[in-house]
Amino acid sequence: MELILPFIIGILFSASLYLILHRHFFKLILGLILFGLATNLFLFVIGRLTRGGSAIIEPDENVAVEPFADPVPQALLLTAIVIGFGIQSFTIVLIKRVYQSFGTTDLDDMNTTDQIEENH
């Protein structure tokens, strides 16, 4: 599993980046969600995997006994997942508003505010 997971993460990264590079707003969101997922897994795997043993101290012990999973990446992941959810829901609502206001879901139609007027 330790050897296979990196490849799975790579595949997830590839797929999500390809989705992000689409012109369709909806695909962009899918890509973002997948990208967040891949990043979380990336962190998790980089922090080493421990089969079994959760990061929980047994009732009759005062300190954790090996093997137990590293709690630091897990704490990071929890935060990352929740924040990622905040971003996702914001983006989902944003796409709806954008569609209501502009009548399009094509990203290339939404590049005007940023563009410098070249002919003045």
Partner 1 sequence: MFLAILAGFLLAFAAPLLHRWLGKWVLVPMALLPLSIFVYLLTLSPAVLGGDKLGELHAWAPSLNINLHFFLDGLSLLFALLITGFGTLIMLYAGGYLKGHPLLGRFYLYLTLFMTAMLGLVLAGNIISIFVFWELTSISSYLLIGFNQDKEKSRNSALQALLVTGLGGMALMGGLILLGMAGGSYTLSELLERGDVVRNHGLYLPALVLLLLGAFTKSAQFPFHFWLPNAMEAPTPVSAYLHSATMVKAGVYLLARLTPVMGGTDEWQYTLMMVGGITTVLGALLATQHVDLKAILAYTTISALGLLVTMTGIGTAPAMEAMVVFLLAHALYKGTLFLVAGNVDHATGTRDLTQLTGLSGSMRYTAVAALLAGMSMAGILPFFGFIGKELLYEASLQESPFRWMLFAVSFFSGMVFVAVAIALSYGVFWRRSTSPTPLQHPDKPLLYLPPVVLASAGLVFGLLPGFFVTPLLRRAAESMLGVEQVFELALWHGFTLALGLSVLTVLLGYVVYRYANRLLSYASRFNRLYLFGPANLYQLTLKGFLIGATKITATIQNGYLRSYIVAIVTAQISLVILALWDGGPRLELGNRLHELSQLRLYEVVLLLMVVSALIFLFKSQSRLTSIAIMGIVGYSAALLYILFGAPDVAATQLLIETLTVVIFVLILHKLPAFKYLSHASERYKYVLLSLTFGAVMTYVILIVKQYPLDSELKAYYGLNSYLLAHGRNIVNVILVDFRAFDTLGEIVVLAVAAIGIMAMLKLRMQKGDKP
Residues 75-104 within binding reach of partner 1 (CB under 8 A): 75, 77-79, 81-90, 92-97, 99, 101-102
Binding of residue 60 to partner 1 (CB under 8 A): no
Q: Can you read off the two tokens belonging to residue 42?
A: 């990336």
What is the nearest approach in angstroms of partner 1 to the Cβ of residue 76?
Answer: 9
Residue 110 CB, nearest approach to partner 1 (Å): 8
Half-sphere exposure of 23 (CA within 13 A, CB side): 6
| Alpha carbons 13 and 20: distance in angstroms, whole number | 10
Looking at residues 21 to 50 of the shown chain, list those that interact with partner 1 (rule: CB under 8 A): 21-24, 26, 28, 30, 33-34, 37-38, 40-42, 44-50
Residue 24 pairs with which residues in a beta bridge?
106
Characterise 48 by phi-psi region: left (phi > 0), alpha (psi -120 to 50), beta (else): left
55 binding partner 1? (CB under 8 A): yes
**In the complex, what is the shortest distance from the CB of residue 71 to partner 1, in angstroms, rounded to a whole number?**
4
Query: What minimum distance in Å lies between the beta carbon of 17 and partner 1?
Result: 4
Which tokens sit at 106?
């094509």
Residue type, 95: I
Binding-site residue total for partner 1 (CB under 8 A)?
92
